[in-house]
Structure 1
């Protein structure tokens, strides 16, 4: 019995470590954008791609990994993808042109899709520990960003960009070793995953890439609004074609009929709306505290100091993740989702009303946001997996991961548009009113998510 428990404990620790590492590596580009532009002598917009391309790779890979990981080769897929992440990490460290760095960041981003396989492995091997583990995996994939930010900022200040990326190589290698040692071998008697719906994968990838490209950069909507709208319309058309294909093929990449289940559809809708709200506030607070006080507000924090602001975000996110499964069992996952939305509203109100009263208050708002994100992330698998067969765990959660990525991307772009609208002509910084507007807009979106959570049907 003790040996079985210790084995479960090792598996659980390895799964959480892999999820945390891949989330941190995927987001590590954010605090390095300025430093990368200087090191590689490229524009800030080009440097932004070191983050964007990783997020794109993660969003595109999640559904494909969800399907590949449904059969008897789940462990092999995990190890292969982690090997790709390690190879990509090497590419970010070596002396090479900027294009090689982008290729490396794309390879690292593939790891963002691994969380769905971690969830499937937990559901298969951890018994009664599976629900709490899956909840923490979902939390780690979201609030894990706060782990990498301060370390990346500090290492960049001490040793340059490659020192920060070297951290990614070290932890990626450690994650691969942990997976080799702790993840159980594949069951040879498990059913095969079946042929991959490559046509569906291509259509979904094209549609998602177009959506994320056009929603991840607010500048496109201010400088070329017609082109941005046309690309978004084309993306929607491609995704509509993807749905049509998935409904006809025998082994679809994603079972779109299952997505119409009321609980699944409701959970994904909440994730989309809440994701927009959460990232809108997250990006606003991060930008606000780094704004130099000479413009009339802000605290002029360095990248490292701004990264420290995210530490309580991550800590309270994990605290909420530990509490959420027990609360969800008593209240039901949708009431827990609604409660997390209430905390988002409280975070928005705190930032809107007190942001200028001292740097402690934006930190309080970020802490509340972390608690809300942790609760929502932990409740989401409860809502979806309650009506999902075990063999479809990875595929079902991969769709939720994509919805989360799209929501965060839209939130980031929407925040940029709101702040751009409040930036006087000829000025580089928006007025303080812009941040207040962004906070209350996020609160309104969170209220919509609360309504969806409390709606009975």
Structure 2
């Protein structure tokens, strides 16, 4: 039996808690989670030396976080709906802190990979935070709050890169993880003090078989995507994993449609509005990550190549930082457009702006200040698009499934970013120019990657045009059966 309370009733519980504090704490949690994901980027080239392992092996420090986050997010979302969203948010932050401490105290590969996998548990913070907002905030505050929470994914990444680079250049690399642990403890304490537990719970039993099936399918899929370039796209391990992913996910879907309490309600997920929003989210996630791959490399490429800008990692990170601030500002703008025209229009606008930013980048790549402008335009589009997604999802699902639905949407973005890393990585690895004894990505390689990012954003806009009506056929926060 589901226990459903309308947002208006749920908001009564926050009368003694300042709404601004709740929003700020939850958004900070999203930013810290995103910071965690970019934490090791400045030291990736040095990891083989630091950990006394090969570059292929140390890449698991990145892959482990990706896999753990993808697997855990749908489960944490479902458990949040069942037993309490604040409780699961606190658990996610706690595991993130433990993972950070494991990494901070380690200097070899195995514990670092374990710690990074534990850090991946923090990915559930954003969908859980959005769901808490739906349950607890007054209707007039909900749109801007959820837009801010959703955009925190991009904001943390943009601001985290220069911060991590600064720490890595001026302190022992373990300080990166001590910093992550400290920020996690801060978020944990603030959530305890300021964020109330939602009374909206669905109850029921956890679908263990569904959880195992989804985990196996996602691990096979994302491992094939992330490691395909290293293993070979037509190699036996890659093709075997893709085949396993298709088979396992089909069996998982069959089970979910027949079990009484599924991990993911596929009938709700197949709702036209939810399905198209999730597909558009894959494309936006792809487009967002393309910027993270292209602009830093372009900025750090030697000027002797004729197109590289010769900047340090720190300066490259600082050039990308303004895009994070623009994301935050545009998330608020997205909420205003959503209130006036519907989230469908906001997502289309955001996607078109992202595409325009990449097209601008094709010709606007001769100076560091030009990359700042390109990053800000793309970042503004991402803020607009990310701000609209929660409204589209929540206006089409019952209140009792809010966390689960938002978790699946976050998963779709992760699949987009993983695919982007693979596709753009292949493009930059194959379109190269010789520089001394090294092969570096060519100018045409960077341009091709940006055009691919633009194409993904246009695909997101086209998918969104098929969302029914304005994309808000039910009121966000009200109980509805799609």
TM-score, normalised by the number of residues in structure 2:
0.89
Question: Given that residues 319 and 368 in structure 2 are in contact (C-alpha distance below 8 angstroms), is that contact kept between their aligned partners in structure 1?
Answer: no
Task: Return closer, same or farther for 1:284/1:93 CA change in 2, 3 Å cut-off.
Answer: same
In 1: Cα distance, 2:371 partner to 2:239 partner: 34
Shift of 1:354: 1.8
Alignment match of 1:152 (pick from 164, 167, 174): 164
Moved more, 414-423 or 47-56: 47-56
In 1: Cα distance, 2:120 partner to 2:182 partner: 16
Alignment match of 1:87 (pick from 94, 98, 101): 98
In 1: Cα distance, 2:467 partner to 2:423 partner: 30
Question: Given that residues 35 and 156 in structure 1 are in contact (C-alpha distance below 8 angstroms), is that contact kept between their aligned partners in structure 2?
Answer: no
Superposed counterparts of 1:128-139, under 5 Å: 128=139, 129-139=141-151
Superposed counterparts of 1:284-323, under 5 Å: 284-323=294-333
In 2: Cα distance, 1:240 partner to 1:364 partner: 44
The answer to which structure has the higher helix fraction is: 1
**Alignment pair present for 1:30 and 2:41:** yes
Shift of 1:57: 1.3
Structure 1 residue runs of 4 or more that deviate by more than 6 Å after TM superposition: none
Aligned length: 453
Alignment match of 1:258 (pick from 261, 268, 273): 268
Alignment match of 1:165 (pick from 177, 180, 200): 177
In 2: Cα distance, 1:243 partner to 1:119 partner: 26
Task: Return closer, same or farther for 1:227/1:423 CA change in 2, 3 Å cut-off.
Answer: farther
In 2: Cα distance, 1:138 partner to 1:293 partner: 37
Task: Return closer, same or farther for 1:456/1:88 CA change in 2, 3 Å cut-off.
Answer: closer
For residue 396 of structure 2, give the secondary structure of its aligned residue in structure 1: coil
Alignment match of 2:457 (pick from 424, 441, 446): 446
In 2: Cα distance, 1:227 partner to 1:326 partner: 48
Shift of 1:6: 4.9
Name the residue aligned to 2:54.
43
For residue 429 of structure 1, give the secondary structure of its aligned residue in structure 2: strand
For residue 364 of structure 2, give the secondary structure of its aligned residue in structure 1: helix
Shift of 1:191: 4.5
Please report the RMSD computed on the Cα atoms of aligned residues, expressed in angstroms.
2.0
For residue 261 of structure 2, give the secondary structure of its aligned residue in structure 1: coil
Superposed counterparts of 1:297-446, under 5 Å: 297-355=307-365, 357-423=366-432, 427-446=438-457
Task: Return closer, same or farther for 1:13/1:243 CA change in 2, 3 Å cut-off.
Answer: same
Shift of 1:7: 2.6
Q: Which structure 1 segments of 5+ residues have no match? A: none
In 2: Cα distance, 1:42 partner to 1:169 partner: 25
Alignment match of 1:54 (pick from 49, 65, 68): 65
In 1: Cα distance, 2:314 partner to 2:451 partner: 28
Shift of 1:456: 5.8
In 1: Cα distance, 2:178 partner to 2:234 partner: 37
In 2: Cα distance, 1:177 partner to 1:266 partner: 37
Task: Return closer, same or farther for 1:253/1:158 CA change in 2, 3 Å cut-off.
Answer: same
Task: Return closer, same or farther for 1:167/1:298 CA change in 2, 3 Å cut-off.
Answer: same
Alignment match of 1:230 (pick from 233, 240, 256): 240
Question: Given that residues 300 and 316 in structure 2 are in contact (C-alpha distance below 8 angstroms), is that contact kept between their aligned partners in structure 1?
Answer: yes
In 1: Cα distance, 2:433 partner to 2:157 partner: 32
